[in-house]
Amino acid sequence: MTEASNGKTVRPGEVALSFDPARIAADAQMRFIGRLRSPWSQGNCPKNLREAREAGGTFRAEIDLPFRPGLLGLEPGQPVILLYWTGRARRDMIVLNPAHRDGPTGVFALRAPARPNPVAVGVVRLLEIDRAAGLLALDALDAFDGTPLLDIKPWLPSVDVPPPHL
Work out whether the CA dihedral 101, 110, 80, 116 comes out positive or negative: positive
Give the start-to-end residue ranges of the domains of the chain: 33-156
* CATH no., domain 33-156: 2.40.30.70
pLDDT tens, residue by residue, 49-70:
999 999 999 999 999 999 999 9
**Whole-number Cα distances in Å, 158 to 3, 74, 81, 111:** 46, 17, 14, 23
pTM score, two decimals?
A: 0.88
In which band, very low, low, confident or very high, does the pLDDT at 2 lie, cut at 50, 70 and 90? low
Q: For a pLDDT cut of 70, what percent of the chain falls above it?
A: 95
Integer-rounded Cα Rg, in Å, for the chain is: 17
Q: For a pLDDT cut of 90, what percent of the chain falls above it?
A: 77
Give yes or no for residue 7 having a pLDDT over 80: no
Which residue from 127, 123, 139, 144 is spatially nearest to 77, judged by alpha carbons? 127
SS3 for 11?
coil
Give yes or no for residue 5 having a pLDDT over 60: no
